[in-house]
Amino acid sequence: MGDVAGQLFAFEYCNVKLKGKPTMKKTKQSLSCFDQTLPVPLSRRAGHHDLCRLTDKDLPYWCSNSEYRHKLPRKIPGDYTRKGDGEKIKRGELRKAAPKAEPPIGGAFRLRDNPPNTQFRKLYERGDLPLQVEHNSAKNAIAWKVDVSKLDYHHYLPVFLDGIREKEEPYRFIAVKGVEDLLKAGTGKILPVIPQLIIPIKTALNTRDPAVINITLQLLCKLVESEEDIGPSLVPYYRQLLPVLNIFKNDIPNIGDRLDYAQQKKICTGELVQKTLELFEIHGGGDAFINIKYMVPTYESCV
């Protein structure tokens, strides 16, 4: 994996300036000299979804001609045929088609709520993070005010991982670049923090947003490769991480014989899921494959 944060501005520029796609919506600000994001209701949480509540009237039934049908409402006098309706019946004007009996839509790929209430955004707006954006001529970078290797990883690494579900700048760039710098300079300090990283990663995956999932998968690959023992330490947490990967494993668009640069741009979710699972198996030890197979039945071993 290359520089994940460095590609964000390039892809954003291509989508807006070259392809004409709309820019990302920004959340409301307080419009003060110390600008802060307006608070959101406590009932909103990332990955929240409404349960599918169906009654008996909404479900189809098994009728006498061996097929599923929906219950039709009781006829009113205007629904019966009258004298002179023969021609209308022949033309099909009075023939009401019964609703097709299909299972309800589960909404597995539907975007879920992703409110701007991350702990990273709060600390950045409050000025508690020891960094600032360094604007260079080539690409942006992060100027750390302290030595990265001397930071408290139990505090900062979960905070930065919580910010990877941000979709606004500069929060998204700083969070992603901060995670990369911490993983690069944190040899020997990342393994004890693994239990604290599961909830932020799971929250980012539960948003079901392809833009957030792609960044999360790339950072997961860097996390597994950062230290030797991180792969086996993630095996007990496969039940929290892999269900969403199982949903998006086959999310590979079929464009026929046309050229597709989604793999090169790291925006093909299905390819990123496959690569992440392969790295989990390679670095996860002997128990990795059977646990991956349990959560993702269509996965085949790469070893």
Q: Enumerate the domain spans of the chain.
A: 4-22+110-295
**Above 80 in pLDDT, residue 69?**
no
C-alpha triplet 116, 6, 261: angle, nearest 5°: 100
> According to the model, what pLDDT value does residue 259 have?
67
**Above 80 in pLDDT, residue 98?**
no
Lowest mean pLDDT among 56-60, 143-147, 175-179: 56-60
Can the peptide bond before residue 210 be classed as cis, meaning omega within 30 degrees of 0?
no
Q: What is the pLDDT of residues 245-284, one digit of tens each?
A: 999 888 887 777 776 665 666 778 888 999 999 999 999 8
Q: Which residues, in sequence order, are CB contacts of 258 under 8 Å at separation 6+? A: none
> According to the model, what pLDDT value does residue 1 have?
61
Lowest mean pLDDT among 44-53, 81-90, 160-169, 291-300: 81-90
Q: What is the pLDDT of residues 217-249, one digit of tens each?
A: 999 999 999 888 898 999 999 999 999 999 988
Residue 205: which pLDDT band, with cuts at 50, 70 and 90?
A: very high
What does DSSP assign to residue 212? H
Closest Cα to residue 134, out of 125, 122, 126, 142? 142
* φ, ψ (nearest 5 deg) of residue 291: -75, -35
Lowest mean pLDDT among 88-92, 93-97, 247-251: 93-97
**Above 90 in pLDDT, residue 11?**
no
- Which residues are 144's β-sheet partners? 131
Q: The tokens of 254 are what? A: 């079929």
Q: The tokens of 61 are what? A: 């039934």
Q: What is the pLDDT of residues 286-301, one digit of tens each?
A: 889 999 999 999 988 8
Across 256-291, b (16+ Cβ under 10 Å) vs e yields: eeeeeebeeebbbbebbbbbbbbbbbebbeeebbeb
Q: What is the pLDDT of residues 146-176, one digit of tens each?
A: 888 888 999 999 999 999 999 888 889 899 9
**Above 90 in pLDDT, residue 80?**
no
Q: The tokens of 44 are what? A: 């909103």
Sign for the pseudo-dihedral over CA of 17, 18, 21, 26: negative
What mean pLDDT is predicted for residues 30-34? Answer: 81
pLDDT above 90 covers a percentage of the chain that reads 30
For the domain 4-22+110-295, what is the CATH code? 1.25.40.90
What mean pLDDT is predicted for residues 127-151? Answer: 83
